[in-house]
Amino acid sequence: MTKLSPSAVEPRIIIGKVGAPHGVHGDLKIIPLTDFPERFEGMQSVYVDQTLLPIAAVDVKNNAQLILMRFQGYSTREEAAQLTKKLLYVDRSEVVSLQKGQYYTFDIIGLEVFDEAGVSLGFVTDVLQTGSNDVYVTSKKGSAAQLLIPALKSVVLEIAVEAGRMVVRLPEELN
């Protein structure tokens, strides 16, 4: 049985974390947890933690490396402070589209990894960003042993997020 990537079933994706209030009118500092901070511009609403309904964004401004946001129903510094340290989410359908061959880390984690012969090598448990190329940390369930797979076109032959699988050709030194 093929296991789907966790995000394939996760309805929401984290895009930021609420920091401290800014000023006295309910503005909050938002720490972007996304590669696309411009996504906040024009944002209409966002989910705060695990709320069932989104909260309307009244005002959104860029401020250096932070975003300033004000939410409906939080018009004072004290009201806004209640949201400090909470995570901001958007629906999975609202993620920024990537180019062909690019994947979100949350789509890669959880994929089952197979070699060219179809032998399972385990599941991707983490993605290390080394600067030159990513490295997929793979391990079998119940085992502490890890296999580090470089995210190179010569190594990663196929990524099928919807099918929950990745096919790799391991370099000789990893065999």
> Residue 5 domain-assigned?
no
User: Domain boundary at 57, 73, 94, which?
Assistant: 94
> Residue 99 domain-assigned?
no
Model pLDDT, residue 10 = 63
**Residue closest to 161 by CA, chosen among 1, 2, 4:** 4
Same domain, 161 and 137: yes
Domain that holds residue 33: 11-94
Model pLDDT, residue 175 = 60
Model pLDDT, residue 131 = 84
In a structure prediction context, what are the per-residue pLDDT tens digits for the chain, which is 175 residues long? 334 444 445 688 899 999 999 999 999 999 999 888 888 988 899 999 988 889 999 999 988 778 999 999 999 999 999 999 999 999 888 888 888 888 888 889 999 999 999 999 999 999 998 888 999 999 988 888 899 999 999 999 999 998 999 999 987 766 6
Model pLDDT, residue 3 = 41
> Residue 56 domain-assigned?
yes
Same domain, 80 and 144: no
Same domain, 89 and 110: no
Name the domain count of the chain: 2
Same domain, 90 and 138: no
C-alpha 175/C-alpha 170 separation (Å) is 6
Same domain, 114 and 151: yes
147-172: buried (b, 16+ CB within 10 Å) or exposed (e) per residue? bebbbeeeebeebebeebbbbbeeee
Say if CB 139 and CB 145 are below 8 A apart: yes
